[in-house]
A and B are shown apart, each in its own frame.
Chain A
Amino acid sequence: DAKTTQPPSMDCAEGRAANLPCNHSTISGNEYVYWYRQIHSQGPQYIIHGLKNNETNEMASLIITEDRKSSTLILPHATLRDTAVYYCIVRASTGANSKLTFGKGITLSVRP
């Protein structure tokens, strides 16, 4: 019962920006948007999260629309090592229901 929808796959050229979209039209006011990625059979890796403001860290930028119904994860200069499944997850900010619910994710393939 993931609350997000993502395209199944996309690709981009190495060195270019990768823009990964996510729809979360039923997001509640107290829910954050989290992004994780999983490189083949490794543990999921935390990337970034945000509530309503855009966020940036050393890995990526997160752009959240003003109505919070969608967001985009931006990898500014994709490398071959960024090839992975990327999961967009909506998660409660308070209370005991803090589990991360993984949906299908988007498979990003970075080509040389």
Chain B
Amino acid sequence: AAGVIQSPRHLIKEKRETATLKCYPIPRHDTVYWYQQGPGQDPQFLISFYEKMQSDKGSIPDRFSAQQFSDYHSELNMSSLELGDSALYFCASSLRENTEAFFGQGTRLTVV
């Protein structure tokens, strides 16, 4: 069965640069969630979208923005990168809100 696809899997950026992470949900899923997991930490919710509209927002820095496109894929844009942004970024998708969400394998972002 098709799973959530995230790209790239690994990304290395320098401080103050910009990064774009992409998430392709499971076919027919209309809800996308983004999470950040720092070293030794638990996943922290950033933002979610349902039917291409932002549905919830967590502890997402103002330097980050995200959107969900007409084909339901989503992109997380991160600007003015800081060393502390180094983390695993996971995307999850579900069919409607409040149903089981399935996670991708994540993007490992390293800021140097």
Contacts and interface: CB of A to CB of B under 8 A. Distances in A.
Interface in B42-89: 42-45, 48, 50, 55-56, 58, 88
Nearest to B53: A96
Contacts, number: 62
Given A43-B106, A45-B103, A95 B44 contact: no
Interface string A65-90: 00000000000000000000001000
Interface of A: 34, 38, 41-46, 49, 87, 91-105
B24 interface: no
Interface of B: 4, 31, 33, 35, 42-45, 48, 50, 55-56, 58, 88, 90, 92, 94, 97-98, 100-106, 108
Nearest to B101: A100
A43 B42 CA distance: 11
B3 to A, nearest CB: 9
B25 to A, nearest CB: 13
A102 B90 contact: no
Contacts of A87: 42
Contacts of B104: 43
Contacts of A102: 35, 42-45
Contact of A96 (B56, B90, B92, B100): B56
A91 B103 CA distance: 16
A104 B97 CA distance: 24
B32 to A, nearest CB: 11
Contacts of A46: 100-103
A93 B99 CA distance: 8
